[in-house]
Amino acid sequence: MAVLFSGVFGVIFFAASFGSKWGKSEEIIVEFDANGTEESSSNKCAALKRGRSQYWKHGRLHHCEFVEEKDGVRTFIVSVDRGKLPSDHDMLQSDLFFWTLNRQLNLDKRRCQTLVGSRNMPATSSTFRLTNPAQDSDICEQLDSVLPEGVDLTSCVQENGPVVFFRSQPLQVHRIALSVPIPRSGYLLLLQRMNRHFLRCRYNMFAV
């Protein structure tokens, strides 16, 4: 299978709620491609924080803890203050919440550098959940076109239920299955390929 990792981008996993001085906070685990960064061992969070510095300054994101670095990928634990997110985020189910948080993390980017998913996202997987604008009727064909050699799209099924509108943007979720498992770095590369023609992040996909 082709190597599924390139560029500088990150992955974010959703986690549990807890009470603190920040109010209703949620921990996330951040997987970040550290290739090309040269932070000192005492400042591993610096590159991650540069992405959305105002969110860190105002406390929307806080408590960045470096966990490990393996194969050029850094793992961090970060907290999100739900009280400092727009109030309409509370009504979103997890797939759509991940999608809009992913967009926020890339407001100042000319390409999508992150992927947002659940805390329990496995290290390798062949099944995914993909969130995309509902007007993209060819989303399964788009995904199939960016798969590496040796990996086939075996299933691409839209979730039952109506299209959900968030700030006038119609969104839908697809359940995806691939012929073989791919690593987390591969999840990121697929999203990078799908988002390459768009500012910020039009698509978000996480493994299950």
Here the tokens at position 186 are 């591969």
Question: CA 116, CA 98: separation in Å to the nearest integer?
Answer: 5
DSSP 202: S
Task: Kindly state the average pLDDT of the residues 100-111.
Answer: 75
Main-chain dihedrals φ then ψ at residue 48, nearest 5 degrees: -65, -45
Task: Kindly state the average pLDDT of the residues 38-62.
Answer: 80
Helices and strands: H and E segment counts in the chain: 5, 10
Mean pLDDT of the chain: 80
Q: Which H or E run includes 197?
A: none
Task: Kindly state the average pLDDT of the residues 102-119.
Answer: 74
Paired residues of 165 in beta bridges: 170
pLDDT at 4 over 60: no
> Which band of pLDDT confidence, cut at 50, 70 and 90, is reported for residue 23?
low
Taking the whole predicted model, whether its pTM rises above 0.75 is answered as: yes
pLDDT at position 108? 66
Question: CA 101, CA 92: separation in Å to the nearest integer?
Answer: 11
pLDDT, one tens digit per residue, over 68-85 is 777 667 777 778 888 888
pLDDT, one tens digit per residue, over 160-173 is 888 889 888 899 99
Q: Which of 42, 34, 81 is nearest to 61 (CA)?
A: 81
Is the alpha carbon torsion for 5, 11, 13, 19 positive or negative?
A: positive
Q: Judging by DSSP bridges, how do beta strands 10-20 and 23-33 pair with one another?
A: antiparallel
pLDDT, one tens digit per residue, over 195-204 is 888 877 899 8
Question: Could you tell me the CATH superfamily of domain 124-207?
Answer: 7,8-Dihydro-6-hydroxymethylpterin-pyrophosphokinase HPPK (3.30.70.560)
Q: Is there a contact between 157 and 174 (Cβ–Cβ < 8 Å)?
A: yes
Task: Kindly state the average pLDDT of the residues 4-24.
Answer: 47
In terms of average pLDDT, the best of 17-26, 71-80, 143-152 is 143-152
Question: CA 25, CA 183: separation in Å to the nearest integer?
Answer: 29
Paired residues of 29 in beta bridges: 13, 77
Q: Judging by DSSP bridges, how do beta strands 169-183 and 124-133 pair with one another?
A: antiparallel
Question: Could you state, in order of their start, the residue ranges of all structural domains in the chain?
Answer: 10-117, 124-207
Helix spans in the chain (H): 46-50, 53-57, 94-104, 139-146, 184-194
Q: Judging by DSSP bridges, how do beta strands 116-118 and 10-20 pair with one another?
A: parallel
pLDDT at 177 over 90: yes
